[in-house]
Amino acid sequence: MKKFIETLKNIYKIEDLRARLGLTLFLLLIYRLGSYVALPGIDPAQLGQLKQQTSDGLLGLLDMFSGGAFSNASVFALGIMPYISASIVIQLLGIAVPYFQRLQKEGESGRRKINQITRYLTVLILLFQAPAYLANLTFQLPSEAFAVSGWMFKLTSTIILTAGSMFIMWLGERITDKGIGNGISLIIMIGIIARLPFAVAAEFVSRIEQQGGGMVMFLLEFVFLFVVFMGSILLVQGTRRIPVQYAKRIVGNKQYGGVRQYIPLKVNAAGVMPIIFAQAIMFVPLTLTQFAQSESLSGFAAAMSNHTGFWYNFSQFVLVVLFTYFYTAITVNPVQMAEDMKKNGGFIPGVKPGKKTVEFLDTVMSRITLPGSIFLGIVTILPAFAMMAGINTQFAYFYGGTSLLILVGVVLDTLQQIESHLLMRHYDGLMKSGRIKGRTGGGAAMY
């Protein structure tokens, strides 16, 4: 406790770090306040039916990602997920379309162009999702809930919802550039944390009054949650170290030889992005349902919206595994790692430099990614098993990757950035070891 208080004092002493933390908290506060601002023309007192609809199922998960803005009919109701969906499409195009491949190789200018295209695509997705959300509002809420109706309400609300999500995206970018941590991830995390107290209270009431089991079962649930939490930390921090031997060489008047360093290849190099990507895709059937007229489409959408159903969980598991490999492939570049080692006179013992080193690194990365992706997929679908075991739906979401791993990964990343600021200015870090392992820092980093 004394060390923690001393660390807080050190954080306050560093003006730049203090300003970054203050800006981050201020922007997150703006986001949270905006989630309670209802769309113009809607009576907030008439939202009971919408809140009931979003109390469980896939809509409940979407409401959690938006921090309750979805059920509040807020100007931020669509949240940040449209931007995530646009990012998925652009990254997939980066594999298949030569134009986007060239942009990825152009450095900072290419990155700015890709970000601009992603924003345009986000607007297009929002112009599709906003009318779907309004159609659901019209169906769920009584007519007296609307002070204004007709095409004028739909037009103005579509513009407001689109602007709201773009503003959230802007907040995330400002946090990333001027604050601490990844802004988009922090916005998703703060929305999840905002729902945690309500979920714990609902589960407590359920165990005491409805489901039975009392405090004993309630405490056992927290023990199991702690086990999953620790497993998630191990998944985020797990690495395999590949030894790299540097040949004897002379630099200036000094001679170096026999230096051994390590490449830490992460078991889960993709972090929580596969879960966020997979979840964004799983929201697509929900959007299509609002426009569905045929029974076949409605049946498909219903099956893919059933949070405890086989097809929903099987599809999500497969998507998480696939996206883990996909995101690892674009994050870890064995060719670049092999070239860097060769330039610096390094080699992996028993492996020839060049093509053989690339093949070796690629094989190792594929093998350690497989168990990591499977464990990530299992953790992702754990809420379904928790619900079937009788745990309250809202609390069950925190047993899985859609919430738990996001919390773990984002918190570790943010703490790692704070740690770096402290160590850079010769202050003690947040831990005795002076190092927190996050999920950032590519696999090519050498220690």
Q: What CATH number is associated with residue 149?
A: 1.10.3370.10
CA pair distance 419, 429, nearest whole angstrom: 5
> What's the CA angle centered on 173, arms 27 and 82, to 5 degrees?
100
Question: 72-106 burial string, b = 16+ CB within 10 Å, else e?
Answer: bbbbbbbbbbbbbbbbbebbebbeeeeebeebbee
The pLDDT, as a whole number, for residue 31 is 92
Query: In the structure, what pLDDT confidence band is assigned to residue 425 with cuts at 50, 70 and 90?
Result: low
Within a domain: 192? no
Give mean pLDDT, residues 130-154: 80
Same domain, residue pair 304 and 394: yes
Same domain, residue pair 152 and 219: no
Q: Residue 296 pLDDT more than 60?
A: no
Query: In the structure, what pLDDT confidence band is assigned to residue 86 with cuts at 50, 70 and 90?
Result: confident
**pLDDT-wise least confident of 25-39, 173-187, 201-215:** 201-215
Which of 129, 153, 179 is at the close of a domain?
179
Percentage above 70 pLDDT, the chain: 81
Within a domain: 194? no
pLDDT digits (tens, 9 = 90+) for 37-84: 888 888 887 777 777 766 666 667 777 777 778 888 889 988 888 888
CA pair distance 232, 267, nearest whole angstrom: 12
Residues 6+ apart with CB under 8 A from 111: 103
Q: Residue 433 pLDDT more than 70?
A: no
Structural domain containing residue 306: 214-447
Q: Residue 216 pLDDT more than 70?
A: yes
Q: Residue 440 pLDDT more than 60?
A: no
Query: In the structure, what pLDDT confidence band is assigned to residue 165 with cuts at 50, 70 and 90?
Result: very high
CA pair distance 138, 149, nearest whole angstrom: 9
Same domain, residue pair 125 and 221: no
Provide the token pair at 381: 């679908």
Within a domain: 196? no
Same domain, residue pair 302 and 416: yes
Radius of gyration of the chain (CA): 24
Give mean pLDDT, residues 337-365: 83
Cα–Cα nearest to 180, from 20, 408, 10, 60: 20
Same domain, residue pair 5 and 128: yes
The pLDDT, as a whole number, for residue 247 is 60
The pLDDT, as a whole number, for residue 426 is 60
Q: Residue 111 pLDDT more than 80?
A: yes
Same domain, residue pair 227 and 145: no
pLDDT digits (tens, 9 = 90+) for 220-268: 888 887 887 777 777 666 677 777 776 655 444 444 455 667 777 777 7
Within a domain: 237? yes
Which of 133, 152, 179 is at the close of a domain?
179
Within a domain: 199? no
- 279 by DSSP, 3-state: which? helix
Residues 6+ apart with CB under 8 A from 364: 240, 242, 265
Residues 6+ apart with CB under 8 A from 215: 207, 208
405 touches 376 (CB < 8 A) = yes
Report the domain count for the chain: 2
H or E element, residue 254: strand 254-256
pLDDT digits (tens, 9 = 90+) for 381-401: 888 888 887 777 777 777 765
Q: Residue 26 pLDDT more than 90?
A: yes
Within a domain: 188? no
This prediction has a pTM of: 0.72
**What mean pLDDT value characterizes the chain?**
77
The alpha carbon of residue 1 and the mean position of all alpha carbons in its chain are separated, in whole angstroms, by: 30
Q: Residue 137 pLDDT more than 60?
A: yes
pLDDT digits (tens, 9 = 90+) for 312-329: 888 888 988 888 888 888
Within a domain: 191? no
Same domain, residue pair 300 and 399: yes
Same domain, residue pair 241 and 338: yes
Same domain, residue pair 302 and 432: yes
157 touches 39 (CB < 8 A) = yes
Handedness of CA 200, 202, 208, 212 (dihedral sign): negative
The pLDDT, as a whole number, for residue 27 is 93
Residues 6+ apart with CB under 8 A from 161: 39, 75, 77, 78, 126, 129, 130, 133, 134
Same domain, residue pair 396 and 268: yes
Same domain, residue pair 388 and 255: yes
The pLDDT, as a whole number, for residue 159 is 93
Same domain, residue pair 361 and 409: yes
Query: In the structure, what pLDDT confidence band is assigned to residue 441 with cuts at 50, 70 and 90?
Result: very low
Q: Residue 295 pLDDT more than 80?
A: no
Q: Residue 160 pLDDT more than 90?
A: yes
Which of 158, 179, 200 is at the close of a domain?
179
Within a domain: 323? yes
